[in-house]
């Protein structure tokens, strides 16, 4: 079943035309607990992985296998996700343990061509130790394109110019710009990172340029404050959300970035908590 995020409850571009130049499109994944197979796009589902390719291992916990976090087929998402030429499958894994130097998890990104996999790895290795909060429950996904405006990424001078109008809207009508109007909650591709604190964009180690946002993985897409503005019309905002069940630093997130210019698509990650 597809998901449809309701329109923003007010006309953002009419009320705050200053944010219009910073509009972006993102792809909400709307993960819901289910039984995805290796053929499906999923969060926390089995990956289509070649039998003759090494499974990603954590560089810090030497030899400890990572777990699947996201698998996305190009045909399942709007044409916004920058798949490398010749690739039609995005796979993200991470080591589900606490890391001394890197924060909560250490992720790995793999782009590939699904048709080139050949013999599939039947049962991948699993980590001997894991934090249950960092292992996503298998979920099917319902990708949906939505419009976003910068939240924590809004330029300070524009924030200052708009602050009184933001406050007035909140007082008069109960809509908070950051929580209800700007960036979509939950796990999503491209668009703006779903920061819950000040932005911390990485620069590419190769070329020095600011990297592009690829994926935000958040604990939930239905927190108590944002859910009455962002809950898809197919769902009941009063029903408990059955998602991946991640607890990433309370209501925090993990953010993946990549450089589109350097060979091999180098990636980096950040995380925060609310
Ligand atoms: Zn590790
Ligand atoms: Zn680069």
**Which pLDDT tens digit goes with each residue over 162-173?**
999 999 999 999
Q: Cα of 60 to ligand 1 centre, how many Å?
A: 5
Q: For residue 249, name the pLDDT band (cuts at 50, 70, 90).
A: confident
The closest ligand to the CA of 103 turns out to be: 1
Give the CA distances from residue 151 to residues 32, 95, 134, 178, in Å, rounded to whole numbers and listed in that order: 25, 29, 26, 5
The closest ligand to the CA of 134 turns out to be: 1
Tokens of 135: 């292992």
Contact 259, 205 (CB under 8 A): no
User: Phi first, then psi: what are they for 22, rounded to 5°?
Assistant: -105, 15
Report the percentage of the chain scoring pLDDT > 90. Answer: 85
Q: What average pLDDT does the chain have?
A: 94
Mean pLDDT value of segment 246-271: 92
Tens of pLDDT, residues 13-70? 999 999 999 999 999 999 999 999 999 999 999 999 999 999 999 999 999 999 999 9
Tokens of 82: 């920058």
Q: Cα of 260 to ligand 1 centre, how many Å?
A: 26
DSSP string covering 216-258: EEES-S--TTTHHHHS-TTS-TTSPP-S----BTTB-EEEEEE
Q: Cα of 62 to ligand 1 centre, how many Å?
A: 8
Mean pLDDT value of segment 97-113: 89
3-state DSSP call for residue 111? Answer: strand
Q: Cα of 261 to ligand 1 centre, how many Å?
A: 28
Task: Enter the pTM of the model.
Answer: 0.95
Q: Please name which of 72, 65, 19 lies closest in space to residue 47, comparing C-alpha atoms.
A: 72
Q: Cα of 238 to ligand 2 centre, how many Å?
A: 44
DSSP string covering 150-174: -STTS-HHHHHHHHHHHHHHHHHH-
Given a cut of 80, is residue 83 above it in pLDDT?
yes
Q: What is the pLDDT of residue 155?
A: 96
Given a cut of 80, is residue 193 above it in pLDDT?
yes
Q: Cα of 209 to ligand 2 centre, how many Å?
A: 6
How are beta strands 139-140 and 267-272 bridged, if at all?
Answer: unpaired
Q: For residue 227, name the pLDDT band (cuts at 50, 70, 90).
A: confident
Distance CA 39, CA 215 (A): 20
Q: Cα of 55 to ligand 1 centre, how many Å?
A: 14
Tens of pLDDT, residues 107-156? 999 999 999 999 999 999 999 899 999 999 999 999 999 999 999 999 99
Mean pLDDT value of segment 158-162: 97
Q: What is the pLDDT of residue 102?
A: 63
Domains of the chain, each with CATH number or no CATH: 12-272 (2.30.320.10)
């Amino acid at each position: 079943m597809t998901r449809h995020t309701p329109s923003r409850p007010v006309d953002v571009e009419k009320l705050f035309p200053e944010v219009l130049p910073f509009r972006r499109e993102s792809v909400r994944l709307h993960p819901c607990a289910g039984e995805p197979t290796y053929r499906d796009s999923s969060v926390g589902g089995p990956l289509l992985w070649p039998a003759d390719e090494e499974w990603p291992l954590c560089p810090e916990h030497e030899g400890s296998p990572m777990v699947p976090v996201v698998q996305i087929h190009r045909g399942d998402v709007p044409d916004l996700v920058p798949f490398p030429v010749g690739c039609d499958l995005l796979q993200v894994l991470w080591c589900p343990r606490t890391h001394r130097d890197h924060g909560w998890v250490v992720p790995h990104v793999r782009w590939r061509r699904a048709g080139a996999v050949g013999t599939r790895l039947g049962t991948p290795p699993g980590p001997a130790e894991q934090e249950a909060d960092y292992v996503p429950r298998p979920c099917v996904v319902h990708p949906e394109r939505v419009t976003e405006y910068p939240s924590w990424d809004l330029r300070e001078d524009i924030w200052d110019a708009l602050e009184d109008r933001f406050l007035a809207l909140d007082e008069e009508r109960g809509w908070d710009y950051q929580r209800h109007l700007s960036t979509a909650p939950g796990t999503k591709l491209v668009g703006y990172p779903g920061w819950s604190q000040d932005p911390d964009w990485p620069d590419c180690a190769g070329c020095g340029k600011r990297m592009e946002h690829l994926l935000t993985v958040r604990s939930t897409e239905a927190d108590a404050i944002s859910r009455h503005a962002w809950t898809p019309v197919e769902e009941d905002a009063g029903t408990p959300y059955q998602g991946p069940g991640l607890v990433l630093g309370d209501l925090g997130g993990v953010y993946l970035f990549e450089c589109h210019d350097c060979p091999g698509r180098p990636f980096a990650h950040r995380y925060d908590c609310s």
